[in-house]
């Protein structure tokens, strides 16, 4: 999906023009994937644009950097304000926001300890990642031949830029085979996650999502869904899920900041339920969109107004 240009990008404390937000070709992060990032969304609400779960995303950005021993040269408060400012200065009512921390120009080689970190925040209008038809009618999933990296090879708790080559390989394989998205399994054979989304499975009246020990990111949208499910009277269980459990599920949906809540209607050409978004999925979708648009007053702490 092409990016729709905004006017400004925040770079190292300054607003610069979209087309002037450049980095050197010898930037360390370009060569070695040495960076961390977040995906965040802002939504229109009755009280104006609000960033959804901003503090949680900023905290995870700093945790990811800490895991990779990258020192962010700004405080959490500065990054939080930069994110709100980029939405405000670009006059965006609803948008996707990408904060990224990457090791910059000045040092080359695999030892990154002397590299200085640069920080940027961009925002642009972006529809749901897996398409409007995917949200309403559901997507087709394929279990990838590529395996999620072992937690002792790369840390799944961090959103590291270079780590997403694993996801890209799986995504390309799925799309070229005619599917919408891929599911990766852990090295032990359990369901891990999609290329950029957490997975939820409804089976025998119970709701499951994979644990972080299977290589799944501890998703912020995942935790949102779990909280909303409890309010709807459902308990979400964090357990290992087998590939065969996907084939016998009554409902499956994937969720993430970019994809929001998107139902799946088949896995490896096996129909999920009746091949349509299920009752639980529809209920969660409705609750999620109410929450992000400020129509659910149970969680005011989830919304940070741009002002």
Structure-token pair, residue 148: 């999620």
Q: Could you say which of 159, 204, 276, 282 is catalytic?
A: 159
DSSP letter at 301? G
> What's the pLDDT band for 163 if we cut at 50, 70, 90?
very high
pLDDT value for 2: 78
Answer whether residue 217 shows pLDDT above 90: yes
The whole-chain average pLDDT of the chain stands at 96
159 is catalytic: yes
Answer whether residue 306 shows pLDDT above 80: yes
pLDDT value for 141: 98
Q: Which residue has the tokens 């997403």?
A: 164
Query: Of the candidates 219, 215, 163, 140, which has an alpha carbon nearest to the alpha carbon of residue 184?
Result: 215
pLDDT value for 128: 87
Mean per-residue pLDDT for 249-257? 98
pLDDT value for 37: 98
pLDDT value for 108: 92
Structure-token pair, residue 128: 């749901």
SS3 297: coil
C-alpha 148: how far from chain center: 16
Q: How far is residue 144's CA from residue 199's CA, in Å, rounded to a whole number?
A: 14
- Tens of pLDDT, residue by residue over 191-201, are 999 999 999 99
Q: Which range among 49-58, 125-134, 170-179, 193-202 shows the weakest confidence by mean pLDDT?
A: 125-134
> What's the pLDDT band for 297 if we cut at 50, 70, 90?
confident
Mean per-residue pLDDT for 218-224? 97
Q: How far is residue 210's CA from residue 188's CA, in Å, rounded to a whole number?
A: 13
- Tens of pLDDT, residue by residue over 56-79, are 999 999 999 999 999 999 999 999
Q: How far is residue 142's CA from residue 130's CA, in Å, rounded to a whole number?
A: 14
Answer whether residue 38 shows pLDDT above 90: yes
Structure-token pair, residue 287: 């609750």
- Residue ranges of domains in the chain, CATH in brackets: 8-124 (3.30.470.10), 132-292 (3.20.10.10)
Answer whether residue 307 shows pLDDT above 90: no
Whether residue 269 contacts residue 144, with contact meaning beta carbons closer than 8 Å, is answered with: no
Q: What percent of the chain has pLDDT over 90?
A: 95
pLDDT value for 161: 98
Q: How far is residue 87's CA from residue 269's CA, in Å, rounded to a whole number?
A: 41
The burial class, CB within 10 Å (0-12 / 13-18 / 19+), for 297 is exposed
C-alpha 166: how far from chain center: 15
Query: Of the candidates 273, 232, 268, which has an alpha carbon nearest to the alpha carbon of residue 251?
Result: 273
């Amino acid at each position: 999906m092409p990016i729709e240009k905004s006017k400004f990008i925040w770079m190292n404390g300054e607003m610069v023009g979209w087309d002037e937000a450049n980095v050197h070709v010898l930037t360390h992060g370009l060569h070695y994937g040495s960076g961390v990032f977040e995906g965040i969304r802002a939504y229109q609400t009755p009280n104006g644009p609000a960033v959804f779960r901003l503090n949680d995303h900023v905290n995870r950005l700093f945790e990811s950097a800490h895991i990779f021993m990258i020192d962010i040269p700004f405080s959490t408060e500065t990054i939080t304000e930069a994110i709100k400012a980029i939405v405000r200065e670009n006059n965006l009512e609803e948008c996707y926001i990408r904060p990224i921390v990457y090791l910059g120009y000045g040092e080359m080689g695999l030892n990154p300890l002397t590299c200085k970190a640069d920080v940027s925040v961009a925002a642009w209008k972006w529809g749901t990642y897996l398409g409007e038809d995917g949200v309403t009618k559901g997507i087709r999933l394929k279990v990838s031949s590529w395996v999620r990296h072992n937690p002792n090879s790369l840390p799944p708790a961090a959103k590291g830029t270079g780590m997403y080559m694993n996801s890209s390989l799986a995504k390309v394989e799925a799309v070229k085979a005619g599917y919408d998205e891929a599911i990766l399994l852990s090295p032990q054979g359990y369901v891990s996650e999609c290329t950029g989304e957490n997975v939820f499975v409804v089976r025998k009246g119970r709701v499951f999502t994979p644990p972080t020990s299977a290589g799944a990111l501890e998703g912020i949208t995942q935790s949102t869904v779990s909280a909303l499910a409890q309010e709807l009277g459902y308990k979400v269980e964090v357990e290992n899920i087998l590939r065969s459990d996907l084939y016998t599920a009554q409902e499956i949906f994937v969720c993430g900041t970019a994809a929001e809540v998107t139902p799946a209607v088949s896995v490896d050409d096996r129909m999920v339920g009746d091949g349509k978004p299920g009752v639980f999925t529809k209920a969660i979708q409705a609750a999620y969109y109410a929450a992000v648009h400020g129509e659910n007053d149970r969680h005011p702490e989830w919304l940070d107004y741009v002002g």
